[in-house]
A and B are shown apart, each in its own frame.
Chain A
Amino acid sequence: NAGVTQTPKFQVLKTGQSMTLQCAQDMNHNSMYWYRQDPGMGLRLIYYSASEGTTDKGEVPNGYNVSRLNKREFSLRLESAAPSQTSVYFCASSEAGARQYFGPGTRLTVL
Protein backbone atom coordinates (compact mmCIF):
# COMPACT_ATOMS: atom_id res chain seq x y z
CA ASN A 1 0.00 0.00 0.00
CA ALA A 2 2.06 2.95 -1.33
CA GLY A 3 -0.51 5.71 -0.63
CA VAL A 4 0.06 8.66 -2.97
CA THR A 5 3.01 8.52 -5.35
CA GLN A 6 4.40 11.28 -7.54
CA THR A 7 6.89 11.33 -10.38
CA PRO A 8 9.35 12.80 -10.96
CA LYS A 9 10.83 13.84 -7.59
CA PHE A 10 12.97 16.57 -9.13
CA GLN A 11 12.86 18.37 -12.47
CA VAL A 12 14.68 21.27 -14.08
CA LEU A 13 13.10 22.92 -17.12
CA LYS A 14 13.98 25.80 -19.37
CA THR A 15 11.47 28.57 -19.92
CA GLY A 16 8.95 27.53 -22.55
CA GLN A 17 9.40 23.78 -22.13
CA SER A 18 6.47 21.58 -21.27
CA MET A 19 6.15 18.69 -18.86
CA THR A 20 3.61 16.52 -17.08
CA LEU A 21 3.69 15.68 -13.38
CA GLN A 22 2.21 12.30 -12.59
CA CYS A 23 0.26 11.33 -9.49
CA ALA A 24 -1.32 8.04 -8.49
CA GLN A 25 -3.13 6.82 -5.36
CA ASP A 26 -4.01 3.29 -4.30
CA MET A 27 -6.53 4.12 -1.57
CA ASN A 28 -9.58 4.12 -3.86
CA HIS A 29 -10.25 7.78 -3.09
CA ASN A 30 -12.68 9.77 -5.18
CA SER A 31 -11.10 13.20 -4.77
CA MET A 32 -7.65 14.24 -5.89
CA TYR A 33 -5.84 17.59 -5.73
CA TRP A 34 -2.80 19.45 -7.01
CA TYR A 35 -1.12 22.09 -4.82
CA ARG A 36 1.93 24.23 -5.16
CA GLN A 37 4.00 25.35 -2.19
CA ASP A 38 6.25 28.39 -2.29
CA PRO A 39 8.34 29.69 0.62
CA GLY A 40 6.17 31.63 3.05
CA MET A 41 3.02 31.02 1.01
CA GLY A 42 1.64 27.79 2.41
CA LEU A 43 -0.12 25.40 0.06
CA ARG A 44 -2.23 26.80 -2.76
CA LEU A 45 -4.73 24.70 -4.68
CA ILE A 46 -4.14 24.59 -8.43
CA TYR A 47 -6.81 22.13 -9.61
CA TYR A 48 -8.89 19.41 -8.06
CA SER A 49 -10.99 16.48 -9.19
CA ALA A 50 -13.97 15.57 -7.04
CA SER A 51 -14.48 12.29 -8.88
CA GLU A 52 -13.34 10.42 -11.94
CA GLY A 53 -14.23 12.42 -15.04
CA THR A 54 -14.48 15.82 -13.37
CA THR A 55 -11.94 18.57 -12.80
CA ASP A 56 -12.24 22.11 -11.44
CA LYS A 57 -10.02 25.12 -10.98
CA GLY A 58 -8.59 26.02 -7.62
CA GLU A 59 -6.97 29.25 -6.44
CA VAL A 60 -4.07 29.44 -8.92
CA PRO A 61 -4.93 27.52 -12.13
CA ASN A 62 -3.33 29.82 -14.72
CA GLY A 63 -0.59 28.14 -16.72
CA TYR A 64 -1.67 24.61 -15.79
CA ASN A 65 -3.93 21.87 -17.12
CA VAL A 66 -4.97 18.61 -15.53
CA SER A 67 -6.28 15.23 -16.55
CA ARG A 68 -8.06 12.73 -14.35
CA LEU A 69 -7.02 9.68 -16.30
CA ASN A 70 -8.94 7.21 -14.13
CA LYS A 71 -9.82 6.89 -10.46
CA ARG A 72 -6.19 6.28 -9.51
CA GLU A 73 -4.33 8.85 -11.59
CA PHE A 74 -4.39 12.65 -11.79
CA SER A 75 -1.77 14.45 -13.87
CA LEU A 76 -0.71 18.10 -13.98
CA ARG A 77 0.65 19.61 -17.18
CA LEU A 78 2.68 22.75 -17.70
CA GLU A 79 2.35 23.66 -21.38
CA SER A 80 4.94 26.44 -21.43
CA ALA A 81 6.91 26.64 -18.22
CA ALA A 82 7.79 30.02 -16.70
CA PRO A 83 10.22 30.89 -13.88
CA SER A 84 7.19 31.85 -11.73
CA GLN A 85 6.23 28.17 -11.77
CA THR A 86 9.35 27.20 -9.86
CA SER A 87 7.85 25.55 -6.80
CA VAL A 88 7.24 22.31 -4.95
CA TYR A 89 4.16 20.53 -6.27
CA PHE A 90 2.12 18.21 -4.08
CA CYS A 91 -0.61 15.85 -5.12
CA ALA A 92 -3.17 14.73 -2.55
CA SER A 93 -6.20 12.50 -2.34
CA SER A 94 -9.12 12.15 0.04
CA GLU A 95 -12.40 10.38 0.48
CA ALA A 96 -14.57 13.54 0.45
CA GLY A 97 -13.34 14.64 3.85
CA ALA A 98 -11.01 17.03 5.61
CA ARG A 99 -8.26 14.44 5.82
CA GLN A 100 -6.10 14.61 2.73
CA TYR A 101 -3.18 12.29 2.05
CA PHE A 102 -0.22 13.93 0.35
CA GLY A 103 2.40 12.54 -1.97
CA PRO A 104 6.13 13.22 -1.44
CA GLY A 105 6.19 16.20 -3.82
CA THR A 106 7.95 17.22 -7.02
CA ARG A 107 10.59 19.92 -6.80
CA LEU A 108 10.47 21.90 -10.06
CA THR A 109 12.91 24.57 -11.13
CA VAL A 110 12.29 26.63 -14.26
CA LEU A 111 15.32 28.50 -15.56
Chain B
Amino acid sequence: GQSLEQPSEVTAVEGAIVQINCTYQTSGFYGLSWYQQHDGGAPTFLSYNALDGLEETGRFSSFLSRSDSYGYLLLQELQMKDSASYFCAVRRGGSQGNLIFGKGTKLSVKP
Protein backbone atom coordinates (compact mmCIF):
# COMPACT_ATOMS: atom_id res chain seq x y z
CA GLY B 1 0.00 0.00 0.00
CA GLN B 2 0.88 3.62 -0.06
CA SER B 3 0.70 6.07 2.78
CA LEU B 4 1.95 9.50 3.75
CA GLU B 5 1.95 10.73 7.32
CA GLN B 6 2.09 14.38 8.37
CA PRO B 7 0.84 16.17 11.48
CA SER B 8 -2.75 17.34 11.25
CA GLU B 9 -2.19 20.74 12.91
CA VAL B 10 0.68 23.03 13.81
CA THR B 11 0.55 26.43 15.54
CA ALA B 12 3.33 29.02 15.56
CA VAL B 13 3.78 32.75 16.09
CA GLU B 14 4.66 35.42 13.58
CA GLY B 15 8.37 35.62 12.88
CA ALA B 16 9.06 32.10 14.10
CA ILE B 17 10.31 29.05 12.20
CA VAL B 18 8.16 25.95 11.75
CA GLN B 19 8.96 22.53 10.35
CA ILE B 20 6.28 20.25 8.89
CA ASN B 21 7.38 16.63 8.64
CA CYS B 22 6.24 14.02 6.16
CA THR B 23 7.01 10.32 6.18
CA TYR B 24 5.96 8.12 3.32
CA GLN B 25 5.61 4.51 2.32
CA THR B 26 5.06 3.98 -1.36
CA SER B 27 6.22 2.08 -4.41
CA GLY B 28 7.83 3.73 -7.40
CA PHE B 29 9.07 6.80 -5.56
CA TYR B 30 10.44 9.58 -7.78
CA GLY B 31 10.28 12.59 -5.51
CA LEU B 32 8.43 14.60 -2.88
CA SER B 33 6.41 17.74 -3.55
CA TRP B 34 4.86 20.30 -1.25
CA TYR B 35 1.69 22.28 -1.90
CA GLN B 36 0.01 25.12 -0.04
CA GLN B 37 -3.73 25.59 0.14
CA HIS B 38 -5.55 28.51 1.73
CA ASP B 39 -9.10 27.96 2.98
CA GLY B 40 -11.47 27.89 0.02
CA GLY B 41 -8.64 28.07 -2.48
CA ALA B 42 -6.80 25.78 -4.84
CA PRO B 43 -3.54 24.00 -3.99
CA THR B 44 -0.45 25.81 -5.24
CA PHE B 45 2.97 24.30 -5.78
CA LEU B 46 5.76 25.19 -3.35
CA SER B 47 8.68 22.85 -3.97
CA TYR B 48 9.90 19.50 -5.25
CA ASN B 49 12.78 17.29 -4.09
CA ALA B 50 13.94 14.45 -6.31
CA LEU B 51 17.32 14.04 -4.64
CA ASP B 52 18.43 13.98 -1.02
CA GLY B 53 19.15 17.33 0.51
CA LEU B 54 17.76 20.78 1.00
CA GLU B 55 16.04 22.97 -1.61
CA GLU B 56 15.56 26.62 -0.72
CA THR B 57 13.04 29.00 -2.25
CA GLY B 58 12.91 32.29 -0.39
CA ARG B 59 11.47 31.80 3.10
CA PHE B 60 10.55 28.19 2.33
CA SER B 61 12.91 25.22 2.24
CA SER B 62 12.22 21.55 1.66
CA PHE B 63 14.33 18.57 2.61
CA LEU B 64 14.34 14.95 1.49
CA SER B 65 16.02 11.81 2.79
CA ARG B 66 15.19 8.92 0.48
CA SER B 67 16.89 6.36 2.72
CA ASP B 68 14.65 7.39 5.64
CA SER B 69 11.51 7.89 3.49
CA TYR B 70 11.23 11.29 5.13
CA GLY B 71 10.97 14.89 4.16
CA TYR B 72 10.06 18.20 5.69
CA LEU B 73 8.99 21.69 4.76
CA LEU B 74 10.63 24.53 6.68
CA LEU B 75 8.95 27.91 6.82
CA GLN B 76 11.01 30.80 8.15
CA GLU B 77 10.04 34.31 9.25
CA LEU B 78 6.42 33.25 9.51
CA GLN B 79 3.79 35.71 8.37
CA MET B 80 0.05 35.74 9.00
CA LYS B 81 -0.52 34.97 5.32
CA ASP B 82 1.29 31.64 5.80
CA SER B 83 -1.75 30.34 7.70
CA ALA B 84 -2.91 27.59 5.36
CA SER B 85 -2.87 23.84 4.87
CA TYR B 86 0.32 22.23 3.61
CA PHE B 87 0.34 18.94 1.75
CA CYS B 88 3.22 16.66 0.98
CA ALA B 89 2.79 14.56 -2.14
CA VAL B 90 4.81 11.66 -3.50
CA ARG B 91 5.50 11.59 -7.23
CA ARG B 92 5.21 8.00 -8.31
CA GLY B 93 6.96 8.47 -11.61
CA GLY B 94 6.21 7.73 -15.18
CA SER B 95 5.49 10.34 -17.80
CA GLN B 96 2.18 11.24 -16.21
CA GLY B 97 3.78 12.38 -12.97
CA ASN B 98 1.01 11.06 -10.72
CA LEU B 99 0.95 12.40 -7.19
CA ILE B 100 -0.28 10.75 -4.00
CA PHE B 101 -1.15 13.40 -1.42
CA GLY B 102 -0.92 13.32 2.34
CA LYS B 103 -3.91 14.48 4.37
CA GLY B 104 -2.43 17.88 5.02
CA THR B 105 -1.14 19.94 7.94
CA LYS B 106 -3.14 22.98 8.99
CA LEU B 107 -0.75 25.74 10.03
CA SER B 108 -2.09 28.55 12.18
CA VAL B 109 0.14 31.59 12.59
CA LYS B 110 -0.65 33.72 15.64
CA PRO B 111 0.34 37.36 16.14
Contacts and interface: CB of A to CB of B under 8 A. Distances in A.
B-side binding surface: helix, strand, loop or mixed?
loop
Nearest to A102: B42
Interface stretch (A14-22, A39-47, A77-85): A39-47
Interface string B67-111: 000000000000000000001010100111111111110000000
Contacts of A40: 8, 103
A50 B95 CA distance: 7
User: On chain B, which size bracket covers the interface?
Assistant: 20 to 34
Nearest to B33: A98
A101 B104 contact: no
B97 A97 contact: yes
Given A42-B102, A42-B104, A44-B101, A100 B45 contact: yes
A95 to B, nearest CB: 9
Interface residues of A, number: 28
A104 B43 contact: no
Given A42-B87, A42-B104, A43-B87, A94 B44 contact: no
17 contacts: A31-B95, A33-B98, A42-B102, A43-B87, A43-B89, A43-B99, A48-B98, A50-B94, A50-B95, A96-B96, A98-B48, A98-B50, A98-B97, A98-B99, A100-B97, A101-B45, A102-B42
